[in-house]
Amino acid sequence: MISDARVRYTRMVIKNSFMELLKKQPVNKITVKDVCEMAEINRATFYKHYTDCFDLLKRIEDEQIAELQQLIQESQHKNIADIFRKMFDKIKEDGDRYITLVSDNGDSTFPTRILNICYEQTNPFLNLSETKREWLYYFSACGCSGVLGRWINTGMKEDVSELSKFIGDLLTKINTSFEIDPARR
């Protein structure tokens, strides 16, 4: 029990130190030594938990995505705008972390990874063939991840309900346009 608490504490200190460094410099400039000095741990302790700073970044992102995934699973029977609203509320709640992860110093693909879980969980384009569903998803995801990244990078000032309704309406309109003309399937 005590060792579990120590492990959780050590990982928390490592992550927090890394996130502070990520606010100031790109991930490719952060060294394990930098993280260890800030966390006041030795390198062996760091390497017990992570292979390098890129592994650490990916695991932090994976934790954030797992939380969002849980929200989506709890929202299974809601419309896409409601699902986005729950996700965006959570992102705004953890705003500082997301701002850092999406910044120029972090991972520019992170918003796309976030939207991938929406596709996997909700599959909004069910009326299309698998290939066209994939094409439409990537088209939509690139636009939506751009909007999401912009919203996060500009400090999440816009209302969550307005943003989620906008993206939900956009995806619904795209999907509806393919329902009208069966020749497009």
Q: Give the pLDDT means over successive 10-residue stretches in the chain (185 positions).
A: 82 97 96 97 96 97 92 74 85 91 88 75 64 79 84 90 86 69 48
C-alpha to C-alpha distance for 24 and 22, rounded to whole angstroms:
5
Residue 26 sits in the same domain as residue 64: no
Number of structural domains (the chain) is 2
What kind and span of H or E run contains 157?
Answer: none
Residue 85 sits in the same domain as residue 108: yes
Q: Can you give the pLDDT at residue 180?
A: 47
Listed residue (112, 92, 111, 113) closest to 103, CA to CA = 111
Ramachandran sector of residue 155 (left: φ over 0; alpha: ψ -120 to 50; beta: rest)? left
Residue 41 sits in the same domain as residue 120: no
Quote the distance between the C-alpha of residue 60 and its chain's center: 10
Q: Can you give the pLDDT at residue 166?
A: 87
Contact yes or no for 40/10 (Cβ under 8 A): no
Residue 9 sits in the same domain as residue 83: no
pTM of the model: 0.80
Residue 99 sits in the same domain as residue 15: no
Residue 71 sits in the same domain as residue 147: yes
DSSP 19-48: HHHHHHS-GGG--HHHHHHHHT--HHHHHH
Residue 35 sits in the same domain as residue 108: no
Q: Can you give the pLDDT at residue 69?
A: 87
Residue 89 sits in the same domain as residue 141: yes
CB contact set of 48 (below 8 Å; sequence gap of 6+): none
Q: Can you give the pLDDT at residue 140?
A: 79
Q: Can you give the pLDDT at residue 22?
A: 97
Q: Can you give the pLDDT at residue 123?
A: 58
What CATH number should be reported for the domain holding residue 43? 1.10.10.60
Residue 31 sits in the same domain as residue 76: no
Buried b (16+ CB within 10 A) or exposed e, 84-97: bbbbbebbbeeeeb
CA dihedral sign of residues 57, 82, 167, 127: positive
Q: How many helices (H) and strands (E) does the chain have?
A: 9, 0
Residue 46 sits in the same domain as residue 63: no
C-alpha to C-alpha distance for 140 and 171, rounded to whole angstroms:
7
Listed residue (27, 122, 46) closest to 144, CA to CA = 122
Domain range enclosing 67: 51-184
